[in-house]
Structure 1
């Protein structure tokens, strides 16, 4: 065993708080499609697309056009490329179900056969803003609500029946077909006992916009690929858990069908005591365990000025610059420098052991061609890795502070020298947390 102590030579990659640090990634050429191999999305030019999302459920219903412009510009500048949005809002907006101007989505309350054109025209203006910013929109046509309750539309959906829902799906599918940046999200915090209702809505959307990608937001800890195993419309799977995200993503990676999946929801910042360090553990845990993206959430940003579920410490405008949002921006820049789509969850023999607090955790992934590896440490002071898992001979390792964007380049690593114990730069990173990111790669993969 070789013990290497790293000198922390920090270079700040980006500003800590201002949103002027957009990534250098090229704009996506929509619509997205499933890449060859079936494990991630790519654009029309074949460029892999890593979902780096923000939960903006109430954007269409609760924001004015100028507020939406400001919000989307902020998220774009911070490195986000995806927004999760409800097309119609049942509860979490100031005038719900009407929008900020008091325009209701239906001519008769809850009547899916009578959509109100002015409401959906206003929604189009919101999607225009997102499209101009080159943002993917995960769009929920009718969020069902937790346990099918009043937070969502399940009561009205059940009363409407399949025929009305298919007509509504056809209406929104056709109306929004001109937006190549939309992927539809069925469900919403619920696995409905009457699947035919969602099936009808999805079929209507497909009829209105043939070939459009659709996914689902299921019940928490639901295996969407099993609950909807016969759903031909389901092209992308999702993971949704408040538990161990890395374990849930790894279970889906190992057991599910060969199609992309992403983390659509976990615990939000400023809810359930979640701060920025937990946000990072959630996000990196998903991406290093097989997920092809992750969606972050912040209270109050997800509901903006509308009612939420928990008290918010600040208003949504101020919350845009939260530590969690900054951390996701650093994550986006980190993965942009890598062929991230090659990553596969590593065998336990690669990251052999993490040492530190009793909760010390190491989550690792290896490129399928052996050119690089990424390890996320939480509550750990060091990690033992077996460099034999990498193919390159000229290995080097770098420590990254995920809370700030600071990078320490540490020098060479001998692939043939057995197991190495790599020691974190400090017991705490710049934010006072004990999480670190380790990158090991060969010279040919550096850029």
Structure 2
């Protein structure tokens, strides 16, 4: 088992325990050699200042004014994310945790360009490295020896490290990639961070906030496979307080290993702006629970099984696993998803795996969803999908459950039903808009097949991969 996978195994156990508890309760070379002049931050775009959600179609990427869209703020209704114009933006994530320390600038360019071409728009990244989060050495050095700190002083920065990291994130911005950035995480808080005082944590946060002020593509994170402790809680909070002291109020969340989303933790729940949903069991349950848990905020599936890894050693993570995670998430209330691969730590030969079959299928599915008014969807309460749901409440792996899930817009203009195995589903059509039509979408190719809308609908047989999962699109919006 690799380093993070060991921690993820603990996550499965924690998720099971949580479920039981709920039941009973990137010297710079290719970029630039010197840090550029930093522009003043743009006006606040955090959740409290989020532009009202719009009812029209999302702006295409790039934006009409030639700019680039980012995941910027939380929608007015608290359910999804919006860009700089207040338009809905579907999260299409990847998890290159060690991007800033494992890759030289030319390698980072290869990675970033490939993911942007595939339609990814969000990355999970640690600002500091440690072997446990995919980094090179415990002192936080990059692969070619750039160190972040001088003699363990978290406010004594080695500028070449920070200039390169800034240039990498700026290049991500050029390509329309938002970064869910951990200034310090649960693997780096002791090395290379060195468990400093709360005052030093706060001072470091202020430096990070100033350093990132001209980066329009950052959202803030804390934790990471994190078991809360008073000492580390205090440091993580102080870092975020330091960032906030610079006038930066971009959305913040935390990833904990002890719960499936921060809202379940009495300490961290009140501190986050959106929920990082973290589950290796069939994801519909955790996403739906986060969606239903107040206060209302985005319940984003931000980590589940990675391509090439599985916490259950005797179970593979197949392309079907990855498809299920995307579509179960979207039909259970998640405003997108975050994909991951075994190359989160950039293993040898990673360049040849950037266009893996899993990444391509996930990209196709996201294209389908993004072409529809997905932000209007509400998870089904049983009024649309009334038969053929099935399920396995004891499933530990994504492939052990066959639950069909659905979501629909309140006006009946759009509905999605994800059917993971062959069957006939029974629908209540009364809530659909007049003129509604039906399409079966092959989730392996993204291609739709027109179907006759009826109260009982049967999956069309094997999809292009020989599996039997299908996405049923209902309403007046023809899929991609």
Which of the residues 425, 429, 446 maps onto 2:460? Answer: 425
Q: 1:175 to 1:357 in 2, by over 3 A?
A: closer
Q: Match of 1:187?
A: 223
Alignment check: 8 A CA contact 2:262 2:276 kept: yes
Partner SS, residue 421 of structure 2: strand
Alignment check: 8 A CA contact 2:100 2:127 kept: yes
2:159 and 2:414 map into 1 onto residues whose CA distance is 51
2:391 and 2:431 map into 1 onto residues whose CA distance is 26
Partner SS, residue 113 of structure 1: strand
1:410 and 1:230 map into 2 onto residues whose CA distance is 46
- TM-score, with structure 2 as normaliser: 0.78
Residue pairs, 1:14-33, within 5 angstroms:
25-27=61-63, 28-30=68-70, 32-33=72-73
Deviation of 1:95 after TM superposition, in Å, equals 4.9
Q: Match of 2:86?
A: 46
2:355 and 2:268 map into 1 onto residues whose CA distance is 42
- TM-score, with structure 1 as normaliser: 0.84
Q: Match of 2:443?
A: 402
Which 4+ residue blocks in structure 1 deviate beyond 6 angstroms? 355-358
1:425 and 1:446 map into 2 onto residues whose CA distance is 17
Partner SS, residue 296 of structure 2: coil
Residue pairs, 1:19-418, within 5 angstroms:
25-27=61-63, 28-30=68-70, 32-91=72-131, 92-95=134-137, 97-109=140-152, 111-145=153-187, 152-154=188-190, 159-194=195-230, 195-219=233-257, 221-227=259-265, 234-272=272-310, 273-300=316-343, 302-305=344-347, 315-354=349-388, 359-390=401-432, 392-411=433-452, 413=453
Deviation of 1:82 after TM superposition, in Å, equals 0.6
Partner SS, residue 271 of structure 1: coil
Deviation of 1:200 after TM superposition, in Å, equals 0.5
Alignment check: 8 A CA contact 1:62 1:305 kept: no
1:354 and 1:386 map into 2 onto residues whose CA distance is 12
Alignment check: 8 A CA contact 1:61 1:100 kept: yes
Superposition RMSD on alpha carbons, in Å?
A: 2.3
Partner SS, residue 119 of structure 1: helix
Q: 1:320 to 1:208 in 2, by over 3 A?
A: same
Alignment check: 8 A CA contact 1:269 1:299 kept: yes
Unaligned runs of 5+ residues in structure 1 are 1-22, 146-151, 307-314, 415-419
Deviation of 1:442 after TM superposition, in Å, equals 2.6
Q: Which range is displaced more, 29-38 or 356-365?
A: 356-365
Partner SS, residue 222 of structure 2: strand
2:389 and 2:82 map into 1 onto residues whose CA distance is 38
Query: Which structure has the higher relative contact order (CA within 8 Å, separation 6+)?
Result: 1
Deviation of 1:67 after TM superposition, in Å, equals 1.3
1:99 and 1:144 map into 2 onto residues whose CA distance is 19
Deviation of 1:66 after TM superposition, in Å, equals 1.3
**Which has a greater percent of strand?**
1
Deviation of 1:220 after TM superposition, in Å, equals 5.0
Q: 1:78 to 1:125 in 2, by over 3 A?
A: same
Question: Per-residue displacement from partner, 1:212-261 (whole Å, max 9, x unpaired)?
Answer: 22111211534302426567652122110111210111111112311122
Alignment check: 8 A CA contact 2:184 2:236 kept: no
1:233 and 1:224 map into 2 onto residues whose CA distance is 9
Alignment check: 8 A CA contact 1:85 1:139 kept: yes
Unaligned runs of 5+ residues in structure 2 are 1-58, 311-315, 393-400
